[in-house]
Amino acid sequence: MKPTTLEFKPQERNIFFHVLTGCNLSCKHCYINPDQHGKEMVSRNTMETWLKLFYEPTKDTNVIFLGGEPTMHKDLAHGVKFARELGYATVTIDTNGYVFHDILERIEPHEAVISFSLDGPDAEVNDPIRGRGVFATCTAGIKKAVKKGFDVSLIYTVSSMNLAHLQRMPALLEELGVKRFFIQVIGIRGKSAATTERLQVTPDEWLTIIPQVAADAANRDIHVIYPKVFLDPNEPFVCAGQLAQNFFIFPNGRVYQCPLCEDFPLHTYDIKNNTLHRNSGLSEAQLFTLEIPEGCVMNKLLQPGNLEYLENGTVKHRISCCLLKQEMKL
């Protein structure tokens, strides 16, 4: 089975709304950086106002509620319903599995997709990364959501800590009744940027193992989506910052277009007095326009360990935009 690349859709807007930065967990690879993203939580009023600010009725606008742990926000259920009423095409909640504030009771299955993060096929692999008891709690949350009829997906962040165990995930997903599987590659930001441990996997590991596991899951009728990471020789490089409409919103008002930039004050926009202001100084928007043989500029700046060069000095694999995905499904 071969993957299909999901091209960026200029007519689609994706709003990644971090409604708070707090979390009950302390994952080893957490991408939240309180120095950059603050420690705030948006109010119910702000949640409504910013959902209106980013809604674009002439485009398919999707919202993904994130944190921290978004279900720790007592008004998340209200935010989901408000987004649906406004007309957002899809609403997703990304959760660590603790599903606080009875969120599964307070919204209806047709109102939101629930996306669970789990980083191992058992507690022995998952819990050293995400915390003691997290595997049991998260899988209990998944079972409850599936039983209630929610559309459930699962995100597995691949790193050197759990790559060897990815192959056991398709069987677990089948057992849990999860129909969509997002394989994510670890980003070197937040806590991952601060550790001396090498968390990235090598190009050979990624290119060998991920397609095999994806095919196994797809053959079990699970829809698999994973980042392209390494471009094929004749594949064009495209930066989502130039072509797509993605907004990563933080409760301190920063709005990024590229998740790799989130560790730095390089955000394109700020929300001030509930209005979107484009920053006039140096921002990620200037970096998006730079063309280099290695592909993604931010990857070269932040994650040069992803790059390998041939003897003649040319790059072995160009790195795609981190937002370029591939899918496999029956």
Q: How far is the CB of 1 from ligand SF4 (least distance, A)?
A: 26
With respect to ligand SF4, which residue has the nearer C-beta, 15 or 218?
Answer: 15
With respect to ligand SF4, which residue has the nearer C-beta, 178 or 298?
Answer: 298
In this structure, the chain runs to a length of 330
Binder among 15, 20, 27, 161 for ligand SF4 (CB under 6 A): 27
Q: How far is the CB of 134 from ligand SF4 (least distance, A)?
A: 8
- Residue found under tokens 């120095």: 35
Residue 258 lies near ligand SF4 (rule: CB under 6 A): yes
* Helices and strands in the chain, H and E counts: 12, 13
Sequence-distant (≥ 6) Cβ neighbours of residue 273 within 8 angstroms: none
- To 5 degrees, how large is the angle CA 314–CA 292–CA 226? 90
Number of residues that bind ligand SF4 (CB under 6 A): 24
Binder among 15, 64, 69, 186 for ligand SF4 (CB under 6 A): 69
Strand stretches in 126-215, DSSP E: 152-158, 180-185
Binder among 8, 30, 252, 300 for ligand SF4 (CB under 6 A): 30
With respect to ligand SF4, which residue has the nearer C-beta, 87 or 293?
Answer: 293
Of residues 141-180, those binding ligand SF4 (CB under 6 A)? none
Q: How far is the CB of 86 from ligand SF4 (least distance, A)?
A: 26
Helix (H, G, I), strand (E, B) or coil at 36: helix
Binder among 15, 20, 32, 186 for ligand SF4 (CB under 6 A): 32
Name 41's bridge partners: 20
Residue 288 lies near ligand SF4 (rule: CB under 6 A): yes
Q: Which stretch binds ligand SF4 (CB under 6 A): 170-178, 197-205, 275-283, 291-299?
A: 291-299
Residue 187 lies near ligand SF4 (rule: CB under 6 A): no
Residue 76 lies near ligand SF4 (rule: CB under 6 A): no
Write out the two tokens for 187: 């980003």
Residue 165 to residue 199: CA distance in whole angstroms: 15
With respect to ligand SF4, which residue has the nearer C-beta, 113 or 287?
Answer: 287
- Residue found under tokens 């990857």: 299
- The answer to whether 258 touches 214, Cβ cutoff 8 Å, is no
Residue 296 lies near ligand SF4 (rule: CB under 6 A): yes
Residue 175 to residue 25: CA distance in whole angstroms: 26
Q: How far is the CB of 242 from ligand SF4 (least distance, A)?
A: 7
Residue 239 lies near ligand SF4 (rule: CB under 6 A): yes
Sequence-distant (≥ 6) Cβ neighbours of residue 320 within 8 angstroms: 227, 228, 229, 230, 231, 235, 237, 295, 296
Residue 215 lies near ligand SF4 (rule: CB under 6 A): no
- Nearest residue to 216 via CA among 269, 265, 174, 163: 174
With respect to ligand SF4, which residue has the nearer C-beta, 190 or 216?
Answer: 190
- Nearest residue to 8 via CA among 250, 258, 286, 178: 258
- Residues lying near ligand SF4 in the complex (CB under 6 A): 23, 25-27, 30, 32, 67-69, 96, 239-241, 258, 260, 287-288, 296-299, 321-323
